């Protein structure tokens, strides 16, 4: 049965016989590789995939079939002959060259790279080509990552097994069973991460102690062998293990009466702790830290800066090659949150140690369906930044709505910091990227099957932020559901329209967080006065430099002036930056309040239409997945209607202006 467990790694018989024969010609023969490779993950993946895709006619060592040559340039004369030295040098440590050609009079496939990880990524690239039914004739891919550190961040709570903002299941990590029992699911998790070309993972929630959470325990001796077991699962897949740590560890895990970074005992404690970890996990990645944020402790208690706090940890990890990722999600609940991170961190530019990354959420609020980018990007030239996205859909429908975020992430990553005429893109300012994971122990990992498209898209964009979201969506659909044109067209259209639809029925014009304060899923406009600032005459938050909280003023030009002025502020962010009268006219002549109602109505109509579009797939895909998504889409349409009603009713009352369109 099709249950979504395999993610996009579904290896199925290639149905087109001509194509299959071509595949057998190019890579149906021997895998020629160094012995060390044959003990590794890439080889296992080939062994798993090729027979499944090539089918019965496939025989290893088939005399007529072409071989796959794997390794560096020196591994085999076929590689040296088909791959240029400069070409391979150009792909760096993690890239690869994947090509087909002829060797000794027979077709051949080459996977060349400078490291095991590069080979692994090249292998997954070959398999993707085969899964998509692409031709191998003249194939020549030269590829390398644009971001150096590519992270999955899990917000899983050790001991408890729950997942912060996780939907549809519990944590995949059974810390009680580790290290003795390593669930086979963990191996599939590692494969999935590698196929996304992620090279690092944080396995526990950044909240480590609040409300009785026990993530801080990962630093206790009891957990070290468990961590080592996880690192062992990840290592063959080229993924480094990181953990979130509590800043007060010296006193919660250890027995010191302080965690002051200036205290020599504290510094020694962290150094010893790091040494203890590296003794059992020599390739350990390092720490992620949420400090002085939402109840997680930090250096401010001791009147030390974030830089002093981060640098102390960096000093402990540096001798072992480890990194600190220090989160910039720091705010005071009083007043507008948006300008605060910049005010807090910008003065620290240049003060962080070399092995520290400042990890910044894509926007200044909190993973909303629409926000401007964080002003820290581009503002910290002497600090390494990591951008954090949220794959788990906390504010974008959780596992109840399809909301494909590829376009949103692409817009953020490609944001022209200095205006459209300049080449500077937001992603040029970061060398690390983190995605808060949406996977759990449900059979299909993500609850809503279509949410896997977000997992997939994150990996593709992390590798290359310039990849088109439509291409990603189309690849994902074909890998997941097969290549029937109606199937591809239908699901891609749903994915493409899903983010705009969700924005329309929940939060158009950048109005912001109108959801309930607990689970963040239901509409609760009455409780969000400080977000929408509605009064009898108008709505929206003034964040201008002149009269508001000043967020607009933190941008460099041309954005500062554009956002500052009502006339040039992009309408999609109008209510984010400005408080306007309900009767303010948009460019197309409609009043903003009517357009606001209209967009809610439109959003609901689109969500309803998804259920109609999906019907075209009946019998074109398997029943299990057809039914699963059908139910989800119908629940979504109902919930979208709930949003529309709640929001439109509320603003009709506040403004006294009825919806002239009348809804649907």
Angle between helix axes 623-655 and 592-615 (nearest 10 degrees) is 170
Length of the chain: 664
Q: CB of 314: closest distance to ligand GCW in angstroms?
A: 21
Residue 156 and residue 163 in contact, taking contact as beta carbons nearer than 8 Å: yes
Cis before 506? omega within 30: no
Contact window for ligand GCW (CB under 6 A) among 79-87, 201-209, 397-405, 548-556: 201-209
Nearer Cβ to ligand GCW, position 69 or 331? 331
> Which 569-628 residues touch ligand GCW, going by CB under 6 A?
none
165 binds ligand GCW (CB under 6 A): yes
Applying CB under 6 A, among 131, 207, 396, 506 the residue interacting with ligand GCW is 207
* Phi, psi for 650 (deg, rounded to 5): -60, -45
- DSSP bridge partners of 106: 103
Stretch that binds ligand GCW, among 80-88, 205-213, 369-377, 544-552 (CB under 6 A): 205-213
Taking CB positions, which residue lies at the least distance from ligand GCW? 366
In the complex, minimum distance from the CB of residue 517 to ligand GCW, in angstroms, rounded to a whole number: 10
Q: How far is the CB of 518 from ligand GCW (least distance, A)?
A: 10
The piece of 84-92, 200-208, 279-287, 419-427 that touches ligand GCW (CB under 6 A) is 200-208
Of the listed pieces 45-53, 199-207, 259-267, 346-354, which binds ligand GCW according to CB under 6 A? 199-207
Residue 289 engages ligand GCW in binding (rule: CB under 6 A): no
260 vs 296 by CB, closer to ligand GCW: 296
Q: Which two tokens stand for residue 234?
A: 């990840």
Residue 435 or 538: the one with the smaller Cβ distance to ligand GCW is 435
241/300 Cα distance (integer angstroms): 28
Q: Does residue number 206 form part of the binding site for ligand GCW (CB under 6 A)?
A: yes
Beta strand 31-32 with 384-390 is unpaired
Tell me whether strands 67-71 and 31-32 are parallel, antiparallel or unpaired: parallel
Q: Name which position in 150, 191, 290, 644 contacts ligand GCW (CB under 6 A).
A: 290
Active site residue 394: yes
Q: How far is the CB of 549 from ligand GCW (least distance, A)?
A: 20
The contacts of residue 618 (CB under 8 Å, 6+ apart) are 626
Distance, CA of 58 to CA of 68 (rounded, Å): 14
Catalytic residue among 394, 475, 503, 659: 394
155 binds ligand GCW (CB under 6 A): yes
Q: Which is nearer to ligand GCW, 38 or 337 (CB)?
A: 337
Candidate ranges 204-212, 226-234, 540-548, 563-571; the one touching ligand GCW (CB under 6 A): 204-212
Shorter beta-carbon distance to ligand GCW: residue 216 or 597: 216
Instruction: Convert 175-204 to b/e letters by CB count within 10 Å (16 or more is b).
Output: beebeeebeeebbbbbbbbbbbbbbbbbbb
Q: In whole angstroms, how close is the CB of 164 to ligand GCW at the nearest point?
A: 5
Contact call for residues 314 and 347 (beta carbons, < 8 A): no
Binding of ligand GCW by 7 (CB under 6 A): no
Among residues 207 and 549, whose Cβ is nearest to ligand GCW?
207
Closest CB to ligand GCW among residues 14, 394: 394
Euclidean distance between CA atoms 585 and 595, whole angstroms: 9
In angstroms, the CA 406 to CA 329 distance is 22
Give the residue with the Cβ less far from ligand GCW, 162 or 634. 162
Gap between the terminal Cα atoms of the chain: 39
DSSP letters spanning 472-525: HHHHHHHHHH---HHHHHHHHHHHHHHHHHHHHHH-GGG----B-SSSS-SB-G
Minimum distance between the CB of residue 360 and ligand GCW, rounded to whole angstroms?
11
Considering 3, 93, 276, 294, which one is annotated as catalytic?
A: 294
Q: Which stretch binds ligand GCW (CB under 6 A): 10-18, 182-190, 203-211, 425-433?
A: 203-211
Residue 366 among the catalytic residues: yes
Q: Residues 362-401: x/- map of binding to ligand GCW (CB under 6 A)?
A: ----xx--------------------------x-------
- The residue range among 128-136, 202-210, 302-310, 602-610 that interacts with ligand GCW, by the rule CB under 6 A, is 202-210
Nearest-approach distance from CB 41 to ligand GCW, in angstroms: 31
Q: From 5, 392, 41, select the one nearest 191 (Cα to Cα).
A: 41
- Whether 658 and 598 have beta carbons less than 8 Å apart is answered as no
Q: Is 164 in the site for ligand GCW (CB under 6 A)?
A: yes
Largest CA distance in the chain: 81
Question: Is the Cβ of residue 67 or residue 207 nearer to ligand GCW in the bound state?
Answer: 207
Number of shown-chain residues binding ligand GCW (CB under 6 A)? 12
Full DSSP string of 85-105: HHHHHHTTTT-EEEEEEEETT
Site for ligand GCW in 461-500 (CB under 6 A): none
Task: Output the smallest distance, CB 436 to ligand GCW, in A.
Answer: 7
What is the sign, positive or negative, of the torsion defined by CA atoms of 222, 227, 228, 232? positive
Please, which residue, 389 or 539, has the CB nearer to ligand GCW? 389
Q: Measured from the CB of residue 404, what is the shortest distance to ligand GCW in angstroms?
A: 20
List the structure tokens of 381.
């030239």
Closest contact distance (angstroms) between CB of 202 and ligand GCW is 11
What are the contacts of 5-8 at 24+ separation with CB within 8 A? 5/188, 5/443, 5/444, 5/445, 7/192, 7/195, 7/445, 7/452, 7/455, 7/456, 7/480, 8/131, 8/195, 8/452, 8/456, 8/476, 8/479, 8/480
Question: Please, which residue, 121 or 331, has the CB nearer to ligand GCW?
Answer: 331
Q: Which of 366, 470, 484, 652 is catalytic?
A: 366
Give the DSSP per-residue string, 443-464.
TTSSSSGGGHHHHHHHHHHHH-
CA–CA separation, 338 and 540 (whole Å):
14
Q: Which member of 103, 284, 329, 563 binds ligand GCW (CB under 6 A)?
A: 329
Is residue 483 within 8 Å of residue 603, measured between CB atoms? no
* 197 interacts with ligand GCW by CB under 6 A: no
Nearer to ligand GCW, 368 or 467 (CB): 368
Nearest distance from C-beta of residue 449 to ligand GCW, angstroms: 24
Instruction: Quote the least distance from Cβ 296 to ligand GCW, whole Å.
Output: 8
Decide: 559 and 434 in contact? Cβ < 8 Å.
Answer: no
Within residues 292-311, the interface with ligand GCW by CB under 6 A covers 294
What is d(CA 468, CA 530) in angstroms, rounded to the nearest whole number?
36
Which residues are catalytic, by number? Answer: 294, 366, 394
Query: Where along the sequence are the contacts to ligand GCW (CB under 6 A)?
Result: 155, 164-165, 205-207, 290, 294, 329, 366-367, 394
């Amino acid at each position: 049965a099709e249950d979504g467990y395999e993610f996009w790694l579904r290896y199925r018989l290639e149905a087109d016989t001509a194509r299959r024969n071509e595949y057998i010609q190019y890579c149906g023969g021997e895998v020629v590789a160094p012995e060390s490779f044959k003990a590794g993950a890439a080889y296992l993946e080939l062994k798993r995939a090729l027979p499944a895709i090539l089918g019965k006619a496939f025989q290893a060592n088939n005399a007529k079939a072409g071989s796959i040559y794997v390794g560096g340039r020196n591994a085999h004369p076929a590689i040296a002959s088909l791959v240029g030295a400069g070409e391979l040098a150009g792909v760096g440590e993690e890239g690869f060259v994947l090509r087909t050609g002829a060797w000794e009079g027979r077709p051949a496939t080459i996977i060349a790279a400078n490291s095991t990880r590069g080979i692994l990524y090249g292998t997954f690239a070959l398999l993707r080509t085969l899964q998509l039914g692409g031709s191998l004739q003249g194939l020549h891919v030269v590829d390398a990552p644009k971001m150096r550190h590519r992270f999955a961040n899990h917000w899983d709570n050790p001991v408890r097994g729950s997942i912060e903002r996780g939907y549809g299941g519990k944590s995949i990590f059974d810390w009680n069973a580790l290290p003795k029992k390593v669930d086979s699911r963990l191996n599939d998790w590692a494969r999935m991460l590698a196929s996304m070309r992620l090279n690092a993972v944080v396995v526990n929630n950044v909240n480590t102690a609040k409300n009785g959470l026990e993530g801080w325990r990962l630093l206790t001796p009891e957990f070290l062998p468990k961590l080592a077991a996880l690192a062992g699962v990840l290592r063959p897949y080229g993924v480094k293990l990181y953990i979130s740590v509590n800043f007060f560890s010296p006193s919660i895990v250890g027995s010191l009466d302080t965690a002051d970074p200036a205290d020599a005992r504290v510094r020694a404690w962290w150094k010893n702790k790091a040494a203890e970890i590296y003794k059992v996990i020599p390739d350990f990645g390092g720490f992620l830290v949420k400090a002085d944020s939402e109840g997680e402790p930090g250096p401010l208690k001791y009147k030390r800066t974030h830089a002093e706090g981060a640098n102390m940890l960096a000093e402990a990890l540096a001798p072992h090659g480890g990194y600190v990722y220090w989160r910039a999600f720091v705010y005071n609940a009083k007043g507008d949150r948006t300008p605060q991170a910049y005010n807090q961190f910008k003065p620290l530019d240049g003060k962080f140690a070399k092995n520290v990354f400042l990890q910044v959420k894509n926007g200044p609020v909190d993973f909303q369906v629409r926000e401007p980018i964080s002003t820290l990007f581009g503002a910290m030239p002497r600090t390494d930044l990591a951008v954090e996205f949220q794959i788990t859909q906390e504010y974008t429908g959780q596992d109840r709505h399809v909301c494909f975020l590829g376009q949103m992430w692409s817009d953020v990553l490609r944001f022209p910091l200095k205006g459209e005429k300049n080449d500077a893109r937001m992603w040029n300012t970061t060398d690390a990227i983190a995605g808060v994971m949406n996977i759990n122990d449900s059979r299909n990992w993500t609850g809503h099957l279509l949410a896997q498209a977000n997992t997939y898209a994150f990996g593709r964009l992390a590798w290359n932020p310039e990849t088109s979201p439509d291409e990603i969506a189309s690849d994902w659909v074909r890998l997941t559901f097969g290549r029937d044109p109606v199937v591809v067209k239908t699901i891609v259209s749903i994915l493409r329209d899903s983010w705009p639809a969700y924005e329309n029925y929940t939060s158009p014009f950048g109005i912001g967080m109108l959801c309930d304060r607990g689970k963040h899923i239901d509409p609760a406009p009455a409780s969000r006065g400080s977000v929408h600032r509605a009064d009898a005459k108008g709505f929206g938050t003034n964040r201008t430099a002149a009269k508001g909280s000043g967020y607009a003023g933190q941008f460099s030009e041309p954005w500062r002036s554009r956002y500052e002025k009502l006339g040039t502020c992009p309408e999609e962010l109008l209510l984010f930056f400005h408080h306007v009268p309900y009767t303010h006219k948009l460019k197309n002549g409609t009043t903003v309040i009517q357009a606001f109602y209209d967009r809610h109505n439109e959003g609901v109509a689109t969500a309803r239409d998804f259920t109609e579009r999906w019907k075209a797939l009946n019998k074109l895909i398997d029943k299990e997945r057809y039914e699963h998504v059908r139910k989800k889409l119908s629940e979504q349409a109902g919930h979208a209607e709930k949003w529309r009603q709640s929001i439109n009713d509320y603003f009709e009352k506040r403004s006294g202006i009825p919806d002239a369109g009348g809804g649907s």
